[in-house]
Amino acid sequence: MSNGNVGRWSSPPSFSVLCASGAWADLHEVDDFVSMEGRVVEIWLGSASSNGERGVRVGSFGKSHLEQRAGELGVSPEVLAARSGAEALAFLTAPPEYSSSLIRHARERADGCAKWEVSAVKMGEIEIGVRFWEFAGGWTAVAQFGDAHFSIVSIGVGLDEVELHAADGRFGFDLAADLDRDIPDRQNRDWQATVLRRRRDGQLHRDQMAVVQEV
């Protein structure tokens, strides 16, 4: 992701921002955010185990902006959110030499997210319906709730281990405050920068091997 706004900006998100928690979560960080025309339109929050090997990223997308982009591209908002999550999952699990082909595969699967499996993720006393795709030992899911769309990326944490809730102070910023003041280094961060570490064992998972062998 790249910041769509040059220079300083101060408008905080005007939509719901969610994060993930659970017994596995020791570290919390703002992974990335996107600003367009002086307002935040997308923000990613990551939570992970102390060694960074298990964790979840949650991307929150302003509904009006995502729907506008989707219309311009001729796809559904769900597909755009799914692409972000699937590409991140592929990147985090892929050996570097296979990144391009596996990210391309993930994008293709995201375009068919309407056929992904259906499940639910806990949020307080309720459950949010999600569509999810499992790949290479992780999974990604998309959901729409209230005034936002959401993309979830998980490595080593099961669907039943994730609980969503409104972002809070553990991420080091106030949702009502200016993000560029509270987290000054986040504007120019790559979407690949995350508290959840990229897998580094260099081994191909059987899901990845099946894709690579077809190329």
Residues belonging to the chain: 215
Q: How far does Cα 6 stand from its chain's mean position?
A: 23
Query: d(Cα 69, Cα 78) in Å, to the nearest integer?
Result: 11
Angle at 210 between CA 208 and CA 215, to 5 degrees: 95
Quick check: 193 pLDDT over 90?
Answer: no
Q: State how far the Cα of 163 lies from the Cα of 214, in Å rounded to an integer.
A: 36
Question: Distance between CA 77 and CA 146 in Å, rounded?
Answer: 14
Asked if residue 35 lies in contact with residue 4, where contact means CB atoms within 8 angstroms, the answer is: yes
- Its domain, for residue 118, covers 18-214
**Is 13 among the domain residues?**
no
* Strand partners of residue 30: 45
Is the residue at 110 inside a domain? yes
Q: What is the pLDDT of residues 142-185, one digit of tens each?
A: 999 989 999 999 999 999 999 999 988 777 767 776 665 445 44
Side-chain-side CA neighbours of 93 within 13 Å: the count stands at 30
Take residue 67 and report the two structure tokens written for it: 């729907």
- Domain count across the chain: 1
Answer yes or no: is pLDDT of 210 > 50.
yes
Q: Is residue 6 domain-resident?
A: no
Task: Using alpha carbons, select from 78, 40, 47, 84 the residue that is nearest to residue 62.
Answer: 40
Residue 207 lies in a domain: yes
Whether 195 shows a pLDDT value over 80: the answer reads no
Residue 185 neighbours by CB distance under 10 Å: 9
pLDDT in tens, 13-22: 889 999 999 9
Type of residue found at 209: M
Please state the three-class secondary structure of 26-78 as a single string: CEEEEEEEEEECCEEEEEEEEEECCCCCCEEEEEEEEHHHHHHHHHHHCCCHH
Beta-strand (E) ranges in the chain? 18-21, 27-36, 39-48, 55-62, 117-123, 126-135, 138-145, 148-155, 163-166
Q: Is 7 inside a domain boundary?
A: no
Angle at 155 (CA atoms; ends 153, 156), nearest 5 degrees: 140
pTM: 0.87
pLDDT tens for residues 125-148?
Answer: 999 999 999 999 999 999 999 899
